[in-house]
Amino acid sequence: MTTNPQALILYGDGINCEHETKFALELVGFDTKIMLTSDLFKSPKLIEKYQLLAFPGGFSFGDEIYSGKVLALQFEQLAKDYLIKFIEQKNIVLGICNGFQVLVNLGILPDLNYEPMCQLNHNSQNKFINRWVNLSVNSKLNNPLLKNLTNFELPIRHGEGNLIIKNEKASEIILQHAALFYENDVNGSFAKIAALTNKTGNVLGMMPHPEAFVTRFQHYNWLNQQIANDQAKPYGYQVFLNAYNYFFC
C-alpha cells in the first residue's frame, strides 16, 4: 500500500516542462503520473485519484491568441467542475509559467469568486527572458508552499509574465493574493508580482521555475564555492518539499 501523495502532471499540445516537474515531485516523495490533457478530458474523473495537479511550463497551443488561453478554454469546456471540486477539497494545484497563465485565464487565480481582473501580458521589454531573478515571499500570506522561504533565487523563462490588472479596484484584491515579488522590475509586472495564490493558499501560480532548481548543479554559479555551500537545499526543492509536507501537517 502506498502512503505517498499522488501528483498528476499534465502534458501534450505544447507543454514542455513535464519531465523536470515529475523529477522534482519524485525527489521530495510524491508518486507521479504524466498524463496527456486529451486523456484527462476524456475522463476528467481521473483527477480524483490525485492530491496535486501540476500545470507545467511550456507553450500550450503555441501561446497563440494569449498565452495559456486555449488550454484554459479546454478546461473550461471539458473539466472545470472537476477542477473546482479538486480545489475545494484542499488539494494542491501548482501552475508554473505557462501553467500560471492557464490558471489566470481560467479565473482560478486570484480566486474563483472574482470576475476576470488580471492577465499575464507581454513583458514590458517585449522580449522573452531567460535569467535568474531574486524573489521575496509575501510573508503576510503564510502560503504553505512557500514556507521556510523569504528571499531567494529562481530562473524565469517567459515572454509573457507581465501581470496587468483591470482597474484600481482590482489592484487591492490582486495585492491580497500576491504570493511572490520580484526584487527588481524584470518584466513590468504590476507591483513586481511573480506569483498569485488563492484565498485558501492551495492554488499557486508562479512565473519563476521552481522545478529548474532542485539540485545545486542547476544553479548558474554552482562552481563558486560559496554558492555551493549555500545551496545544500536548493530553493525550488523547498517549494516541492513544502507541497509534500502540506499533506502531512
Partner 1 sequence: MLTVKTNNLIYAAVIPDSNNQLMSANNQTPNQISFPLYFIEQNQGDLVHDKNFNTIMNNVLTNSVNDKLLLFTNENWQNFINQWKNKNFTYLIIKHFLPGVTDTKGNTVKDAFKLFNCKINIACGNIYLLPKTVTLNNSLNDLVKKLQYNLFNPLIEQIKVVDLSQDYQEDFFQFKLFTQSTNDNKRNYYEEINLNIKDNLLEDISINRLLALSLPEMKNVQNYFKNTKTQVLRNKFNLPHNPTDVELEIIAQTWSEHCKHKIFNSTITCNYLDNNKQISHSKIIHSLFKEFIESPTRQLAKIKPNLLSVFSDNAGIVKFNENYSICFKVETHNSPCALEPYGGAVTGLLGVNRDIMGTGLGAKPIFNTDILCLPNPFENEPIHPKLLPSQSIINGVRKGIEDAGNKSGIPCINGSVFFHNGYRAKPLVFCGTAGIMPLTINGLESHNKYTKINDRIVMVGGRVGADGIHGATFSSIPLAENSPKSAVQIGDPLTQKRMLDFLLKARDTGLITGITDNGAGGLSSSVGEMAKITNGATIDLNLVPLKYPGLKNWEITVSESQERMTVSTDRFEELKQLADNFNVEVTDIGYFHNLGYFEIKDQTSTVALLDLNFLHDGYSDLNLTATFNHNETVHFISEITQNDVIKPYLDKLADLNAHDIYLELLAHPNIASKESIVRQYDHEVQGKTIIKPFTGKNQDGPNDAACVLLSLDSQQGIAVANGYNPLMSYYDCYSMAVFSVDEAIRNVLCIGTNLDEIYLLDNFSFPDPLKSATNKLGENNLKCLIATATGLKDAVSAYSTPLISGKDSMKNDYHTEQIKLSDIPTLLISAIGKIDDITKCLTSSFKNPGDLVYLLSAGSLGIASSHFQSIYNLNASWLPELDLNQAYKLYKNLNVLNQNDLIQSAHDLSEGGLAVTVAECLFGENFGAVLDISLVYKQTLSNKQSYIDKLPFKNNIALCKLFGEIPGSILVSLKPKDQSKFEAILEESTYTYLGYVTAESQLIIKDDNKTVINTNTATLNHAWKTSVCNTF
Residues that bind partner 1 (CB under 8 A): 11-14, 16-17, 19-20, 23, 36, 38-39, 57-59, 61-66, 69-70, 73-74, 77-78, 105, 116-119, 121, 127-132, 155, 157, 159, 164-166, 209, 211-212, 214-215, 217-218, 220-225, 227
Active site residue 97: yes
Can you tell me the distance from the alpha carbon of 173 to that of 87, in angstroms, rounded to the nearest whole number? 20
The conformation of residue 61, written as its DSSP 8-state character, comes to G
Active site residue 209: yes
Q: Which of 17, 18, 20, 97 is catalytic?
A: 97
- Give the nearer residue to partner 1 in terms of CB position, either 14 or 29: 14
Residue with cell string 481582473: 117
What is the amino acid identity at position 63? Answer: D
- Give the nearer residue to partner 1 in terms of CB position, either 140 or 225: 225
Tell whether the torsion through CA atoms of 38, 21, 64 and 12 is positive or negative. Answer: negative
- Give the nearer residue to partner 1 in terms of CB position, either 73 or 141: 73
- The burial of 96, by beta-carbon neighbours within 10 Å (0-12 exposed, 13-18 middle, 19 or more buried), is given as buried
- Give the nearer residue to partner 1 in terms of CB position, either 223 or 249: 223
Can you tell me the distance from the alpha carbon of 238 to that of 149, in angstroms, rounded to the nearest whole number? 8
Measured at the CA of 81, the angle between CA 193 and CA 169, to 5 degrees, comes to: 35
User: Shortest distance, CB of residue 96 to partner 1, whole angstroms?
Assistant: 12
User: Shortest distance, CB of residue 143 to partner 1, whole angstroms?
Assistant: 23
Residue with cell string 522561504: 149
Can you tell me the distance from the alpha carbon of 214 to that of 19, in angstroms, rounded to the nearest whole number? 13
User: Shortest distance, CB of residue 246 to partner 1, whole angstroms?
Assistant: 23
- For residue 185 the three cell numbers come to 522590475
Q: Please state whether beta strands 52-55 and 31-36 pair in parallel, antiparallel, or not at all (unpaired).
A: unpaired
- Give the nearer residue to partner 1 in terms of CB position, either 5 or 58: 58
Q: Which of 122, 158, 209, 219 is catalytic?
A: 209
User: Which residues does the annotation mark as catalytic?
Assistant: 97, 209, 211
